[in-house]
Structure 1
Amino acid sequence: MTHPDPVTERLAALTDWRGDTLRRVRALIHGALPDVQETVKWAKPTSPGVPVWEHGGGLCTGETYARTVKLTFHRGASLPDPAGLFNASLDGKVRRAIDLHEGDTLDGAAFGDLIRAAAAANAGVNAARKRR
């Protein structure tokens, strides 16, 4: 018997708007980067864990709270955001986040650009490490 992957299982457990939102985010990420890797990290008895998308390093996480889906970008502070999607964790020196609430609409094209920029940032960091 084949079991669904951990991200599919995690999203299936979210039967409200938060699950719908994360499923859409997941589809946008795969549309922007078809070879993206995904997993669930930080699972423990008191938490089912957090979906994490990676491409040459961490891109973003998809945390769920009672009234918010938080998409935290690992290197968000260094990414261009001309559409102004980042609306949370704006004072951080490294991370930036997008907080989505029930009924919010995420600009798919701008989000795809942000995902590709995050992957490019990881590629740049990895290339710099190889040159050392």
Structure 2
Amino acid sequence: MTQRPKLLSGGNPQIPKGYGEEPVRAFIAATPGWKREIIERLDALISGAVPEVRKAVKWNSPLYGASDEGWFLSLHCFNRYVKVAFFRGTSLRPQPPVSSKTAETRYLHLHEGEAIDEARLVDWVCQASQLPGERM
């Protein structure tokens, strides 16, 4: 019997660091309830918007990058929402709605039952994928 990954505080799955599709699939599979549906949809939208997207899981969060130059976006689960972090979010137009302690980062928080503005999200993903990535 395969043991399910531990959930950290806030309900984020604890997934070993890894690169490629497999660790991101493991993250999605371990994400509980309504958050899994959101993460699955976000992953599909990101993959559709940036067909050659690079994926990894680091610090228990999926990361997405457009080249070897770094990462443009991450996902993370909290008790009441899923956080989409755009590392160069202040360069996006319009900017994602939630500010960060990090100067250039902006967030989008998605709550249970809330519709995703898919056109806006895909536009932000496309913009973000063209900017210099964050090295992590």
SS state at 2:112 partner: coil
The one-letter code matched in structure 2 to 1:22 is I
Residue by residue over 1:8-66, the C-alpha shift from the partner in whole angstroms, topping out at 9 and shown as x without a partner, is 00110113010110100000001100110111001xxxxxx101111132111100011
What's the TM-score, normalizing by structure 2?
Answer: 0.75
Q: Which residue pairs with 2:44 in the alignment?
A: 27
Check the 8 A contact 1:67/1:101 in 2, yes or no: yes
TM-fit CA distance, 1:87:
2.3
Q: Which residue pairs with 1:61 in the alignment?
A: 74
**Distance in 2 between the 1:9 and 1:100 partners?**
21
Query: Aligned pair 1:75/2:88, yes or no?
Result: yes
How do 1:87-98 residues align onto structure 2 when only pairs under 5 Å count? 87-89=97-99, 92-98=102-108
TM-fit CA distance, 1:93:
2.2
**Distance in 2 between the 1:91 and 1:11 partners?**
27
**Distance in 2 between the 1:120 and 1:100 partners?**
24
Query: Aligned pair 1:103/2:113, yes or no?
Result: yes
The one-letter code matched in structure 1 to 2:62 is P
Query: Aligned pair 1:16/2:40, yes or no?
Result: no
Q: Kindly, what percent of the aligned residue pairs are identical? A: 32
Give the gaps of 5 or more residues in structure 1.
Answer: 43-48, 124-132
The one-letter code matched in structure 2 to 1:117 is Q
Larger Rg: 1
Which stretches of structure 1, 4 residues or more, deviate above 3 A after TM superposition? none
**Distance in 1 between the 2:90 and 2:101 partners?**
9
SS state at 1:106 partner: coil
More helix by share: 1
